């Protein structure tokens, strides 16, 4: 299964998912790389709003 298919199956817009993941990938900690998988992914903007960052 491709990342595009997996993103769709998890209810994500594939373009938004790939754009966010490819943007975050260079700075993502290796120990937290699983957070970028479609079934665990939370968009960066949503993550920031949940953490109270403005």
Q: What is the tally of structural domains in the chain? A: 1
Q: Report pLDDT digits (tens) over 6-27.
A: 999 999 999 999 999 999 999 9
Q: In which band, very low, low, confident or very high, does the pLDDT at 47 lie, cut at 50, 70 and 90? A: low
Three-class secondary structure of residue 28 per DSSP = coil
Structural domain span for residue 18:
3-48
Output the pTM of the full model: 0.78
State how far the Cα of 6 lies from the Cα of 29, in Å rounded to an integer.
22
Q: 19 with 25: CB under 8 angstroms?
A: no
Residue 21 domain-assigned?
yes
Residue 44 domain-assigned?
yes
Q: Name the residue among 32, 37, 47 with its Cα closest to residue 12.
A: 37
């Amino acid at each position: 299964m491709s990342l595009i298919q997996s993103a769709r199956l998890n209810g994500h817009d594939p373009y938004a998912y790939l754009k966010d993941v490819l943007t975050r990938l260079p700075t993502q900690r290796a120990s937290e790389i699983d957070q970028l998988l479609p079934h665990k992914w939370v968009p960066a903007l949503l993550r920031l709003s949940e953490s109270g960052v403005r």
